[in-house]
Chains A and B, each alone.
Chain A
Amino acid sequence: MGALLTLDRLNVFYGAIHALRDVSLTVNAGEVVTLIGANGAGKSTTLRAITGLLTPASGRMVFDGEDIAGVAAHKLVARGLSMSPEGRGVFANLTVRENLEMGAYLVRDRAAIAAGLERSFTLFPRLKERSKQRAGTLSGGEQQMLAMARALMSAPRLLLLDEPSLGLAPLVCQTIFDTIDSIKAAGTTVLLVEQNANAALKHSDRGYVLETGGVILEGASAELATHPRVREAYLGEGG
């Protein structure tokens, strides 16, 4: 089990604001790793740095043995790193099926695209029912499913999920988290950024807790879930 993604003392600035302070983390192949923390802790900034939307001031980012600092997001897809962006970002005017096909934009092999579609529909049977519908007409939960399925269409080795449970009803959240288990079982490594710390820790192997731009805690998810600091700050248990 080697490290698929390693961030080493990453520093990112928004102008004068020091958004990430020496963030180091490792995602091993086959794991689900979660990044939890409050609003503004630097979770999304970390993902933006990984996907090349922000250029770090210092530090190293290595994906599959190659330095990816400053590599544009669209070029990372070809290397096997795919992201389901925050707020879903489905293509509202395309149908569900077209959205999925666009997820395989870089895949030239028709059989692989067909297999990807089949995989998506097995993972999310709801999407199969809706395949001819415009994505903009889907419910929030269905759009989230579509965004995840679309990110999987390029058959990535590492899937980045940015706040997949944001704004969803509890029951739908459960479906989404159960799917993360299935994605892991199918062999895809996942880096999950979540505000819902409880569920995220339940469905991941290891976790990192971010606060004001730095990692304050890391460890096995089961241990983090019982850590007093985490329980107090993120799981709603006072003192």
Chain B
Amino acid sequence: MRATQKLAWTAATLVVLLGLNQIFEHGFGDFQINPYYARVIELIGINITLAVSLNLINGVAGQFSIGHAGFMAVGGYVGTYLTVYYGAAVTGWFGVGVTDAVGGSIAMVVSLIGGAIAAGVAGLAVGIPSLRLKGDYLAIVTLGFGEIIRVIILNIPSVGGATGFTDAIPITNFFWIFAMAILTIVIVRNLTASTFGRALATIRDDEVAAEAIGIGTTWHKVMAFAVSAALAGVAGALSGQLFANPLNPQNLNFVKSIEVIIMIVLGGVGSITGAVLGATTLTILPEVLRGFDQEFPGLRMVMYALLLILMMIFRPQGLLGRREFGWHWLRWPNRSRIPVALTEAGDTKAHTPAPPGDPRSALGEGDEEGDSRG
């Protein structure tokens, strides 16, 4: 895309988002959005940001992190703290209050940037020591990190400790949530399509070989991890300042991290549109199932777990696999023209002529998620 085209797209997106925000927050004529639906939509947007950002490190770079809630907490608490304790001062310079439309936006920008920087720095601190090593160390370290952050927050009275950050000023709105979700998608997509992203793909496939062609694997992994963490921080700052949705250390434990992992696994590891789909599905699903609780309390979560199990049995590669959803899907039956679909035909071929006595041909490729398409 040329620069002018990019500018036009950005402007159009902003106008649409602002328009929707107006309807969403203030209604349109007699129409007022049901606050319950509104909340579900807001959570979808935040979860998209979380899932797409986690996908960069877990899916694209193939490094298993289970501490996304920890980075969300760092960004969320720092971002909210900035608004609560410095928001009024900052907006005061512009002569507006934190709760005004303009003032809220100024405070939001400060809060988002602060949250992203804090979470990104935390990402560097966790990533530099653990990503120098090859293997599963990152999973262990990120798990520990998430719990450490949670316990630290519990013991800071100025951010509410165990009661949660209830002093938060509700400045998050539809516009900011979806602007950040779209920004996250654009950042991750551009990174994935760049040389940097290609290098991450080689690291995921074979780290030693990546090293052997001159890719500094540690640097690439740490950078991807820091970007992922910073975006999780953005999601945290949005979540913490949503109306009547204070951050609470109890909700930011490793179960939250697992929830985000499930979103990307369900959508298809490595696929950005898959992560969006996974985040949307997993936010809506528990709500759709709410009816079950009226019959038998607790049945909802049983159904939820059952559906997840069924989905993983019938589509272990996720809803989209490694593919991206796009306009080419509508051009039936030309789907075979897209490169990844093309290799599906190749897959079957690769499994038949396995030369005897070649352990790689028997085991090597079979464990790739992409090849388990049924």
Residues of A within 8 A of B (CB): 51, 53, 72-75, 77-78, 82-85, 87-95, 98, 102-103, 105-106, 132-134, 136-141, 143, 147, 150-151, 153-154, 167-169
Contact = CB atoms under 8 A, between A and B. Distances in A.
Contacts of A95: 339
B360 A140 contact: yes
B287 interface: no
A74 B217 contact: yes
- Sorting the interface of chain B by its residue count into under 10, 10 to 19, 20 to 34 or 35 or more gives 35 or more
A62 to B, nearest CB: 20
30 contacts: A53-B211, A74-B212, A74-B216, A83-B212, A85-B208, A87-B360, A88-B209, A91-B201, A91-B202, A91-B206, A91-B209, A92-B365, A92-B368, A93-B201, A94-B205, A105-B199, A133-B343, A133-B346, A136-B347, A136-B368, A137-B346, A139-B350, A139-B353, A140-B355, A140-B360, A153-B213, A167-B358, A168-B355, A168-B358, A169-B355
A132 B322 CA distance: 17
Contacts of A53: 208, 211
B95 interface: no
B212 A51 contact: yes
Nearest to B217: A74
A137 B213 contact: no
A133 B359 CA distance: 22
6 closest A-B pairs by beta carbon, nearest first, are: A89-B209, A77-B214, A167-B358, A137-B346, A91-B205, A137-B350
Q: Which of B201, B357, B364 has the most CB of A within 10 A?
A: B364
Contacts of B322: 93
B212 A98 contact: no
A93 B368 contact: yes
Given A74-B216, A74-B217, 20 more contacts: A74-B211, A74-B215, A82-B213, A89-B206, A91-B209, A92-B370, A93-B322, A93-B370, A94-B198, A94-B202, A98-B198, A102-B215, A106-B214, A136-B371, A137-B347, A139-B353, A139-B355, A140-B360, A151-B213, A154-B214
B21 interface: no
Contacts of B199: 102, 105
Contacts of B2: none
B213 A77 contact: yes
B166 interface: no
A141 to B, nearest CB: 8
A204 B213 CA distance: 24
Q: Which of B214, B339, B357 has the most CB of A within 10 A?
A: B214
A137 B343 contact: yes
B211 A72 contact: yes
Contacts of A83: 212
B12 interface: no
Contacts of B202: 91, 94, 102
A50 to B, nearest CB: 12
A195 to B, nearest CB: 13
Contacts of B342: 132
